[in-house]
Amino acid sequence: MDRKTTNNGNAYSDETIRRFLLGALSGTEQASFEQSLFTNDELEERVRLAELELSDDYAAGRLSTPERDLFEAGFLLTADRQQQLNVSRAMQQTLSFQSPARVDQSVMARVVNVFDLRRHAWKYAFAALILMLLLGAAILVTKQRLRITQRHTSPTPVTPKPSATAVPQPAHHATNSGSPSHTEQPPALPLHEGLTPSVVLNSNTPLEAAPLIRTSGEVVTIELRLDAPLADFYDVKVMTTAGESVFITNGIKRTESETLGVSVPGSAIESGDFQIVLLRADGDSQPNAGTYFFRVK
Amino acid sequence: MSAAKQLKELRQQDFDRLLLWLDDDRERAGILYEKIRWRLVTILAARGCTLAEELADETIDRVARRVSDIQATFVGDKAIYFLGVMNNVHHEYLRRPPLPRLIEDNQGLENREQIHFCLDSCLEQLAPYARQLIERYYAADRQAKIDLRKVMARELGIKTSTLRLRALRIREKLQTCVESCLETVSEARP
């Protein structure tokens, strides 16, 4: 590490520079060094850096006892050097507590450093957070008070409750005993989340809304609602949504209620998203009869 | 015109003349002036002078006042001329009765807080490479630090002496940044 530079025949090691800064050079060495410092820019830079290093070493407690004594007696003679030492101490506190592992180049180390609570930025952040919480609490209290005040000053109009009449009134009830017909329809059951091995599928149901089947049995019975134009026979191809064919059956006859019953082995559709491609097998009309989606848990 | 104002104007004229003597380009002259002042302070401090900054300024003042007399005939290294004047100023200082050394306590709690704040801010401003280097260079302690620096040098494919120079240059930037930040903070205060 020790480095030497030549200027007018003189060579200065890092150790000499350090001794110069601590005022420990002999008279002859001192005069020569001063002359060189005024004429050699490279030496000047080295002295500047060594000055900082000396300050850092002192702050870190790395100086030998004689060096420390010289430092304390003769180094801190200028305001600049005192400020350097202040920064050295701050750096020592901020950076030196980190172990080598913690300042590893990994992203994790950087993140840990950012979230280190000893960083002063966090102190300011916490102070700001506390201020914000106090401000928030004050706003809430004010709003609550305002609400209470409004409740007391402007009551909301209330519909008067019916009260019993003093005189009996004739009641106009219907005289016949037949009850009116109830026209309300029961709500349709959701198509999805049907945890059953038997399911009815529509071709217009997208995958996101497709029913969920739990394959508990060996065979899953699927009933497909057919779209027009109808054919008498259909070919059925069961595939994953990625297009991988898992089960094929041909020539299935449709029922009178315009549906098609398909029995698919549970082992072919263990879990995932599936589609059934239905093809008309009579050759009279367009072969594609629709795609049906379902999911298996 | 008051005597004080006359003196101030005279000093400004001397100073302008000094800069012009150092270099025709005012910016370059300013940089050279700063370098000379730093060298004077450093040498005086190395001599154990407790008033290094004051004596450096006194030296510069004396040179500035003499520029009008010497500029036409002066031959040689101008910086060395300062060294000669400084020797005279220092000899005069040594003949004076020693003054008690005033130790300024600028490490109050508030100042420490400001330094930490500025240091954090300056570390944030460093380029990622420089920040990582300085954090690792100053991490750990004693033997672990030495070992870590050897590992760093090996990783970067450079000598430990080169690593030291790189780290210290970043450290120097940090020092400049922190000092500038502290000035801004103190100026912003009412």
> What gap in Å lies between CA A138 and CA B95, rounded to an integer?
68
Q: Which of B40, B49, B18, B35 is nearest to B84 (CA)?
A: B40
Same domain, A211 and A271: yes
- At B142 the pLDDT is 64
Higher pLDDT pick, B182 / A149:
B182
B83 with A35: Cβ contact below 8 A: yes
- Per the structure block, which two tokens stand in for B81? 């001329």
Task: Quote the pLDDT of residue A105.
Answer: 46
Tell me the chain A residues in contact with residue B31 when contact means C-beta distances shorter than 8 Å.
Answer: none
Show the tokens assigned to A72.
């304390």
Q: How far is CA A11 from CA A48, A227, B77, in A?
A: 17, 99, 21
Residue A180 lies in a domain: no
CB within 8 Å: B42 and A37? yes
List of chain B residues whose C-beta atoms are within 8 Å of the C-beta of residue A100:
136, 139-140, 144, 147-148, 151
Please name the helix (run of DSSP H) or strand (run of DSSP E) that holds residue A200, with its range, or none: strand A198-201
Total Cβ atoms within 10 A of residue A221:
15
Chain A CB within 8 Å of residue B139 CB: yes
The helix or strand, by DSSP H or E, that contains position B105, with its residue range, turns out to be none
Cβ pair A113:B135 closer than 8 A:
yes
Mutate to test the interface with A, among B116, B132, B165, B181 (most CBs of A within 10 A): B116
Q: What's the domain count of chain A?
A: 3
Whether residue A270 lies inside any domain: the answer is yes
Convert the pLDDT of each residue in A102-141 to its tens digit.
545 444 545 555 555 555 566 777 788 888 999 888 888 8
Among residues of chain B, what percentage have pLDDT more than 90? 42
**Are A279 and A297 within 8 A, CB to CB?**
no
Residue A171 maps to a domain: no
**Cβ contacts from A onto B, under 8 A:** 143
Residue A224 φ/ψ, nearest 5 degrees: -100, 125
CATH number at residue A292: 2.60.40.10
Whether residue A288 is contained in a domain is answered as: yes
**Mean pLDDT (whole number) for B107-130:** 86
Phi-psi region of A197 (alpha: psi -120 to 50; beta: other; left: phi over 0): alpha
| Predicted pLDDT at B106 | 54
Give me the torsion for CA of A86, A88, A94, A99, rounded to 10°: -150
Tell me the percentage of chain A whose pLDDT exceeds 90.
Answer: 13
Cβ–Cβ under 8 Å, residues A30 and B55:
no
CA A80 from chain centre, in angstroms, equals 46
pTM tops 0.95 = no
Work out the minimum CA distance from B68 to partner chain A, whole angstroms. Answer: 23
Q: Is some CB atom of chain B closer than 8 A to the CB atom of A118? A: no
Residue A78 near residue B53 (C-beta atoms within 8 A): yes
Q: Mutate which of B102, B105, B119, B142 to test chain A, going by most A C-beta atoms within 10 A? A: B119
Q: Is the pLDDT of residue A212 over 80?
A: yes
pLDDT for residue B177 = 94
> What percent of chain B shows pLDDT beyond 70?
85
Give domain status of residue A36, yes or no: yes
Residue B170's pLDDT band (boundaries 50, 70, 90)? Answer: very high
- CA-CA distance, B20 to B2, in Å (whole number)? 27
Residue A162 in domain: no
Per-residue confidence (pLDDT) for residue A22, from 0 to 100: 92
- CB contact, 8 Å: B45 with chain A? yes
Counting Cα atoms < 13 Å in the Cβ hemisphere of A140 gives 6
| pLDDT at residue number A61 | 87
Position A255 scores a pLDDT of: 85
Q: Residue A83: list chain B partners with CB under 8 A.
A: 106, 179, 182
Looking at every residue in chain A, the average pLDDT score rounds to 76
Percent of chain A with pLDDT over 70: 68
The confidence score (pLDDT) of residue A177 equals 47
**Inter-residue contact A4 to A12 (CB < 8 Å):** yes
B85 touches A at CB < 8 Å: no
CB contact under 8 A, A94 and B178: no
- B residues 1-30 lying closer than 8 A (beta carbon) to A: none
pLDDT > 70? residue A264? yes
Q: What's the whole-number average pLDDT of chain B? A: 85
Q: What does the alpha-carbon distance between residue A196 and residue A191 come to, in Å, rounded to a whole number? A: 12
Distance to chain A for B175, nearest Cα, Å? 7
User: Given this model, what pLDDT does residue B138 score?
Assistant: 85
Q: Which of A49, A71, A95 is the last residue of a domain?
A: A95
CA dihedral B127, B128, B130, B131 (to 10 degrees): 110
Contacts of A81 in chain B (CB under 8 A): 45
| Per-residue pLDDT reduced to its tens digit, A25-44 | 988 889 899 989 988 889 99
| Higher-confidence position of A113 and A248 | A248
Tell whether the model's pLDDT for residue B84 goes beyond 50: yes
User: Residue B123, SS3?
Assistant: helix
- B165: exposed, middle or buried (Cβ count in 10 Å: 0-12, 13-18, 19+): middle
Q: Is the pLDDT of residue A288 over 90?
A: no
Alpha carbon B169 to chain centroid distance? 14
The domain in which residue A205 lies consists of 198-296
Is residue A262 assigned to a domain?
A: yes
**Average pLDDT in the B40-55 region?**
92
One CATH from 1.10.10, 2.30.30, 1.10.3470, 1.10.760 for B109-188? 1.10.10
Query: Which of A78, A96, A119 comes nearest B138 by C-beta?
Result: A96
The ipTM, to two decimals, is 0.84
**Do residues A86 and B113 make contact, with C-beta atoms less than 8 angstroms apart?**
no
Arithmetic mean of pLDDT, B76-89 = 90
Counting every residue written for chain A, the total comes to 297
Stronger pLDDT, A9 or B187, i.e. the higher one:
B187
Evaluate whether residue A231 is within a structural domain: yes
Q: Identify the pLDDT of residue A152.
A: 53
* Cα–Cα distance measured from residue A120 to residue B124, given in angstroms and rounded to the nearest whole number: 12
Taking the C-alpha atoms of residue A114 and residue B131, their distance in angstroms, rounded to an integer, is 13
Residue A262 has pLDDT above 90, yes or no: no
Output the CA torsion sign for B67, B73, B78, B80.
negative
> Across the interface, do B165 and A49 touch by the CB < 8 Å criterion?
yes
Of B128 and A124, the one with more pLDDT = B128
Kindly state whether residues A41 and A111 are assigned to the same domain. Answer: no
Query: Are A86 and B39 a contacting pair at CB < 8 A?
Result: no
Considering only CB atoms, A100 lies closest to which of B107, B140, B160, namely B140
Q: What is the mean pLDDT of residues B107-111?
A: 68
A23 at B interface, C-beta within 8 A: yes
Strand partners, A105: none
pLDDT tens for A190-210 read 444 444 467 889 888 888 888
Residue of B nearest to A125 (CA): B117
